[in-house]
Amino acid sequence: MDFSGFIVIAAVISTVILTMALAVKMQRAKELQTTADGLQKSLNEMDEQAKLVVRTDIALNKTQEELDKKITGLYALQRISRAISTTMEEKEIFKRIGSEHLDEIGFERAAAFMLYEEEDKFIPELSLGYGDEEMENLSTFINAHGDFFRRIIGNKETFSSISATATAGINKENLSRAFGINAFVVCPILPKEGNQGLLIVGTENPDTLVTEGDEELITILANQLGQALENARLFEKTWRAQQDLEKKVDERTRELSKVLEEVKDSSKRKSDFISSVSHELRTPLTSIKGYASILLAGKLGAIPKEVKERLEKINRHSDELVHMVNDLLDIARIEAGRVTMKQEPQNLINIVGQATDLLSMQAKEKDINLISDIPSDANSVYVDRSQIERVFINLIANALKFTPAKGRISIRAHKKGSFVQVDINDTGCGIPKEAQDKIFEEFYRVDNAINQEAKGTGLGLSLVKHIIEAHKGKIFVESAPGRGSTFSFTLPQPK
């Protein structure tokens, strides 16, 4: 083989090798292209999946945002409700709503106007996020379109930038401009009584849209405001009524105090008069009685029987008159506070015994059973003995007077707190109900057959009452006609 043959063979071999290498490379390139195509396909598929993820994510975020907004709104409403329900002052209600509450419900500006019918004017009560000048302009706008806003109140209609339609020449854009907000909700404030109004809430943010949920939220807020106003007005009304009542009570009390003073004054004058008259009466009475006694004793010579009888009458009547004058004097002194009760620890059994001994003859004459029952725990009393003896003598004597023969009078006592209650019960004719309140008054005498026959001054029970009250005790009666009477009184015990 020559050199040229060798070259041809080499060239052929090289061509074969190169062709094979090229084929391998092409094969590899093809494989790489396939892989790249596969990767590109996967990438495109993943990109498509990413698009699905984004779209799902948007929907989820939107739902989450709405949910968040609702939850935040409800929390804010709860806080506002708490803030406005803790005041009973109408003006304070609006002041309790702050910018922080507004933020929480997702708005920046709020205004409230109340319609004052008397002035035929909407007056601003709440301004949040508005400057003074802006608020003045808004107020002018609302009043210039008063009929439109009255209709909103009248129709109890909530409207917003998504639901507003052109009404009476005011369209959504005009309202937005006037309110100084891009999106808004207007809701009437409707307390059942008194002035009603409007709540305007909104945002300047052009990206914030009002939703139906916002309308609901603002409606709830306006209702809460209405309810709070209603409560405040009711409270105001009740408070005013109470104030009027208190004023009237004060006036009546003053009038009564004045009358009481007059009564006291008149009573004092009466006591003074009685005291003075009694004193004046006692001197001539003493003389009359003295002269009658001298004549009766025959110191001035014998007197005829008829004269003696008349003198004895003079003497007896003089005694009665002296007794009466003494009682009157005692009442007057006690009333005037001139008698001091000399209170000391005393034995009630002894006092009752003393009184019953004194009156036992009269009881015997009428065959009246006089019983006394004083238990040991009620025996000790802290009293002026001589005065309390007068009380017992008066009451037992009265009982004897009004109890028919063969009757019964009981004197019982029992402990009642730091006092002893004494009950003097008889089987007498009893006292009619209408007379029971009056029997302790001076000169009052129950209108009955016995009183018409028996003599009496009508001062005994009054004196008894004065003595008991001077001991800080109480006296009262229980009685019914034909069923006897029980006079009860309380006496203090030693401390």
Partner 1 sequence: MSIQAGVGLSTDKDHIAAVQEAVVQAKKNIAGDKIDLAFVFSTREYAHTTVLKTISQLSGNAVIIGSSSLAIISRAGICRHGLMVILISLPNEAYFNAASIREISSKSFDAAGKELAEKLLYGSKGTRRDLSLIFCDRLIQDSSGIINGMRQQLGMSFPLIGASPSERLGHKNSHLYFNEEIIKDAACGMLFGGKLTFGVGVKHGWKPLGKPRHITKSRGNIVYEINEEPAAKLYEEYIGKSREELKKELKRISIFYPIGIHLPGEEEYLLRNVISIEDDGSLTLQGDVHVDSRIRLMVGTKESCLEATAQAMDDLKTAMKDHPAEFILVFDSLSRLMLLGRQADREIEIIREKAGSGVPIFGLYTYGEQAPLRSIDYLGKTYFHNQTITILGVGG
The site map against partner 1 for 197-216 (x = CB under 8 A) is -------xxxx---------
Q: Which is nearer to partner 1, 9 or 67 (CB)?
A: 67
| Count of CB atoms situated within 10 Å of the CB of 436 | 17
Q: Which stretch binds partner 1 (CB under 8 A): 66-74, 171-179, 381-389, 485-493?
A: 66-74
Residue type, 208: T
List the one residue from 31, 37, 57, 117 that touches partner 1 (CB under 8 A): 57
Size of the site for partner 1 (CB under 8 A): 25
List the one residue from 41, 55, 366, 472 that touches partner 1 (CB under 8 A): 55
Angle value at C-alpha 284, between 278 and 289, nearest 5 degrees: 110
Instruction: Give the separation between CA 281 and CA 198, rounded to whole angstroms.
Output: 86
Q: Which is nearer to partner 1, 48 or 373 (CB)?
A: 48
78 binds partner 1 (CB under 8 A): no
- Output the smallest distance, CB 169 to partner 1, in A: 28
DSSP bridge pairs for 414: 421
56 binds partner 1 (CB under 8 A): no
Q: Which is nearer to partner 1, 70 or 150 (CB)?
A: 70
132 binds partner 1 (CB under 8 A): no
Torsion, Cα 229 233 239 243, to 10 degrees, reads 140
Interior/surface letters 281-304, b for 16+ CB within 10 angstroms, e for the rest: beeebeebbeebeebbeeeeeeee
Q: Which stretch binds partner 1 (CB under 8 A): 26-34, 48-56, 356-364, 472-480?
A: 48-56
Instruction: Pull the structure tokens for residue 16.
Output: 């074969």
Helix axes 212-296, 305-336, angle to 10 degrees: 150
Q: Which is nearer to partner 1, 58 or 241 (CB)?
A: 58
- Output the smallest distance, CB 235 to partner 1, in A: 26
Length of the chain counted residue by residue = 495
The backbone torsions φ and ψ at residue 367, rounded to the nearest 5 degrees and listed phi first, read: 55, 45
59 binds partner 1 (CB under 8 A): no
Sheet holding 419-426, edge to edge: 369-373, 408-416, 419-426, 485-492, 475-479
Q: Which stretch binds partner 1 (CB under 8 A): 45-53, 213-221, 298-306, 319-327?
A: 45-53
Residue pair 208/106 in contact (Cβ under 8 Å)? The answer is yes
- Output the smallest distance, CB 205 to partner 1, in A: 6
H helices within 97-180, ranges in order?
99-104, 132-144, 146-154, 172-179
47 binds partner 1 (CB under 8 A): yes
List the one residue from 7, 36, 43, 249 that touches partner 1 (CB under 8 A): 43
- Output the smallest distance, CB 40 to partner 1, in A: 9
- E-state strands within 60-137: 109-116, 121-128
Q: Which is nearer to partner 1, 7 or 46 (CB)?
A: 46
Q: Which is nearer to partner 1, 108 or 423 (CB)?
A: 108
176 binds partner 1 (CB under 8 A): no
The backbone torsions φ and ψ at residue 339, rounded to the nearest 5 degrees and listed phi first, read: -100, 125
Give, as ranges, the residues between 82 and 111 that touch partner 1 (CB under 8 A).
98-100, 103
Q: Which stretch binds partner 1 (CB under 8 A): 68-76, 309-317, 375-383, 456-464?
A: 68-76
Give, as ranges, the residues between 283 and 322 that touch partner 1 (CB under 8 A).
none
Q: Which is nearer to partner 1, 160 or 479 (CB)?
A: 160
The 3-state DSSP class for residue 480 equals coil
| 213 CB-side CA count, 13 A | 14
Q: Which is nearer to partner 1, 72 or 486 (CB)?
A: 72
List the one residue from 64, 171, 340, 386 that touches partner 1 (CB under 8 A): 64
- Output the smallest distance, CB 101 to partner 1, in A: 10
Instruction: Give the separation between CA 493 and CA 388, rounded to whole angstroms.
Output: 13
Instruction: Give the separation between CA 214 and CA 77, rounded to whole angstroms.
Output: 12
The 3-state DSSP class for residue 111 equals strand
Burial category of 388 from C-beta neighbours within 10 Å (exposed 0-12, middle 13-18, buried 19 and up) = buried
List interacting residues with partner 1 (CB under 8 A): 43-44, 46-47, 50-51, 53-55, 57-58, 61, 64-65, 68, 71-72, 98-100, 103, 204-207
